[in-house]
Structure 1
């Protein structure tokens, strides 16, 4: 198995031409190195780009929401995995640097990009900003789910970057779960239209890659983001040119995934070597 090499791309035709002057792209995100990779890639192709950063939800609120859905034991187990994953990222720094060099991407914020900070994308300020900015396309990456009322107020195509292959690996940690399910053929990322569901909108582009033996939950999202810059550019270009085409996906069962609990994560890692 090749280590971290780009193996298969499901795209159609050549990349769309860059946007004409005045065709503004707005990116909605909660920030972080992985979203910055996509922001920088989009900025190179679409100079009239603005970033709206929303404040992340508190861990307490996220925990309570998970507990209502799955119960407190599972919610606390998932929170423990999130904590361990966060503290384990420095241990994967060398592999992360390899991915950045291999794909020639930049995770550093570009100070020349206009950035506007808000509390929530589902609040009135966000709708007001979109009215003032009048984007031709809204691109989402690492942000909260937009409520139906918010989506109805948006007057342009809304695209999302998802680090997983839809519809089989919607939700969280798509790359990790593809490996756990012995389905590395579907270790990849998706750019899709946004609807009221969780990663349920029509698929536009997908890219599949082969993870390295050195990859883990700490680097899967970075690998998929770095490999996915091309489909992000293609998706936005198609939206700006009015040539969005829904792609036919394989007949996969649609499933939404969440964080593994700490005990399941350790068991899979020890017994199968998938971390």
Structure 2
């Protein structure tokens, strides 16, 4: 994964520029560093801020105890269509499974499972030439900004409406290097 990111850094930089993705915090944005999303300092910071909603992205699982103590709804941005592509690399797995129509993202309520919370919003898109497992998440972020804003706005307005995608549920993990190479050579999906 790290090697792929280094080798394809120029593609990622072009994608970020083309899609006008903001990958660094804004100057006026306060960053609060905590040792763990499940630690008392995280809960303290959240209670101090008093948000109407928390949106997670790329965070470790929150414990049942932490979720029970959260003072507001917790949402997760997931780079995959849930429940079919829960876990890691949802876009990659959709493509390698011959399911490109489910290359997309989900915003869902957080529960104690791995991407098992009720779905609020989903959007589907397509990878572009040169995209690989190292850039799919950036591509997905580019076409899914609106659903994150909509989901947060809806929750702040007191409108939590869930949808049932009617899909089977499966959790996915990082591919092994051998599966990744074999699949890439066989299908051209990297």
TM-score bracket, normalised by the shorter chain, equals over 0.9
Q: Which has the higher contact order (CA 8 A, sep 6+)?
A: 1
Task: Point out the structure with max Rg over C-alpha.
Answer: 1
Instruction: Give 1:209 deviation, angstroms.
Output: 0.6
1:183-194 superposed matches below 5 A: 183-194=99-110
**What displacement does 1:247 show?**
1.4
* Residue in structure 1 matched with residue 90 of structure 2 by the alignment: 174
135, 138, 143: which one aligns with 2:54: 138
Question: SS of 1:118's equivalent?
Answer: coil
Give the Cα–Cα distance (whole angstroms) in 1 for the partners of residues 11 and 40 of structure 2: 41
Equivalent residue for 1:101, pick from 17, 33, 39: 17
2:67 aligns with 151
SS in 2 for 1:228: helix
Which deviations, in whole Å up to 9, do the C-alpha atoms of 1:83-125 show, x marking residues without a partner? xx21221332333233223332221221210111110011111
Quick check: 1:265 aligned with 2:180?
Answer: yes
Identify unmatched segments of 5+ residues in structure 1.
Answer: 1-84
Structure 1 vs Structure 2 CA RMSD: 1.2
Q: Report the TM-score, using the length of structure 2 for normalisation.
A: 0.95
- Report whether the alignment pairs 1:252 with 2:170: no
Residue 236 of structure 1 corresponds to which residue in structure 2?
152
5+ unaligned residues in a row in structure 2: which ranges?
A: none
Q: For 1:115 and 1:215, locate their aligned partners in 2 and report how far apart those are by CA, in whole Å.
A: 30
Q: What is the TM-score normalised by the length of structure 1?
A: 0.67
Please list, as runs of the form range in 1=range in 2, the aligned pairs for 1:1-275 lying within 5 A after superposition: 85-249=1-165, 251-275=166-190
Count residues with an aligned counterpart.
Answer: 190
Runs of 4+ more than 3 Å apart: none
Structure 1, residues 168-215: CA drift from partner, whole Å, max 9, x if none?
A: 000000000000100000000001110010000011111111112311
- Give the drift of 1:135: 1.1
